[in-house]
A and B are shown apart, each in its own frame.
Chain A
Amino acid sequence: MRISEVYLVAQREYLENLRTKAFWIGILTFPLIITLGICVPILLARAKEARSFAVLDHSGFLLRQVEEQAAAQDLAAAFSRAAEAYRRGGPAFAELPEALRGLALGLLPLEETQRGKVIEALVRGEAPADTFSLPEPARALLARREALLDWRQQVSAAELKDLDFPQGRYRRVEVPQDGSDPQARLNQMVAQGEIFAYFVIGPDPVAGPQDCKYVSRNLTDTELHDWFSGLATAAIRQQRLIRANLDPRTAQWVQAPLEFAGRRLDEGGAEQRVAFGDKARQWVPLAFVYLLWFAVFTSAQMLLNSTIEEKSSRVVEVLLSSVDAGELMAGKIAGTAASGLTVVGSWAVFISLAVAIVPGLLGASATAVAQIIANPFYLASFVVYFCLGYLFYAALLVSIGSMCNSLQETQNLMMPILIPMMIPLFAMVPLVQDPNGLLARVLSFIPPFTPFVMMNRAAGPPAPWEYLVTALLMVGSIALATWAAARIFRIGILLTGKRPRLREIWGWLRSGEAR
């Protein structure tokens, strides 16, 4: 095989692929999907105007309690965010207000459930019923309540919104006091779109929902309704406990769920806390499997198309007077591999750039996901498994292409390849849930599935020997498939008329007289 000829063929193949729509669709689709997937919900959330609402409170106490609950929620959210920002490090933490920062440092060593309790206690100003069960540092934190309340008093609405507080989403307006019937006035405001909705609280909400209502023109968007009624219910529950002469602490203790803290064993056998990142790490390979599948399949399809073009236009005759069939096939596979790697590489560059640039623009959770995606281990496996998967399917598709005169003709032959190719897609979710289970292991050792399944299991991760053995199996299968493809290609590419039958193909494979 002459390398210069292979190179010439590969070069032409690459440049021609560059001119196809499929190539550019491949390059652009991924960044587009990722950008839309991450940005649109965030932008929509940001663009969403704060929903304004009014409350006509006939009870005289419930509205105030609801507002206190809301403030508590905001603080809880702020603390969690501060703790998360500290855990990840970086500038996000330094930019937080001092009151939150100090607290976050104290909260950090705590478990998620304990953290929730401390936060609740801080906000409410009363220690939870099982304070005694809190570790010492948590109890010490409760002493910081004064400083925190000061901060909460002074903080501006804009700052709250920057901290991504839920409070930013809703804005309560006062019921106009102009002497007219307030309810008629509110109806008018809703009708004219000045406010989204209003709540009416009956004179005795503790007794029952008598005279309580929610009025809006839009009853399909229940976000505001659910948020407000959730807070109101919590407040009313407290009141009912008092009315029933039950100690709220006792009641709280009775109601408290028994929580089992999640722990993950690391490779060394040490217990690890489960953080948000772990979940994402588990699921991110899924995205990679999809992309891998898409990249392998579109690249192999490009190769199939160009093979059929050469065959059906009969260019191949002239080509073969200059290059050997093996050189032609090798050049085509290599050229299309280069186009596929260009697409995949452009994705990798995009992700790395996104991770470097985006954190400033997007929220914290997007950054965390982006960082996991940019994990060099994942990216490297992705590129390696792309090459392995592509080479395997390229050999299959180039032989199919060499036997058919049109794309329609390929369809019957593609079926037996496409159906097994779907299996790793169907198995994706079970494999993520049990990346080292029996199904995952068995599928890993079936070469057509190896690239997708091993990528799928990356969060496991599989044992080094599994990587080694599956890779060797894969390389062996590629060699076998390429050997067979070379024999089929030599003869098939020159055949015209009817597609060869399976028995004939078998004959080509067995006899060395392929050329």
Chain B
Amino acid sequence: MKSPLPLALRAAALLAGLATGPAMAQDANLARNLAASCANCHGTNGHARGDMKPLAGMPADKLLAMIADYKSGAQPATIMHQISKGYTDAQIKAIAGYFAAQKAAGK
């Protein structure tokens, strides 16, 4: 990442609901695109099958805390401690916001 700051600002604006118009649409797409990189394991829009953890509808603060624990090592993992370190905090926030806005299965 060459420019984490503008991204962080955009993501923060998105979460705070401050962005408007085309900028908001772009931020929404950015969150959507980032979250799509999780779908291979966690299902399209976070609707996971099998043994994978569903992310759709998970409150953002819960997902953020989980990722923070993977990054710090507080929560042991098979693979997420390695994958989580590839994303900036701003990107994780955007992803968490996106999944929180998805409808959980059966709800």
- Asked whether A and B interact, the reply is no
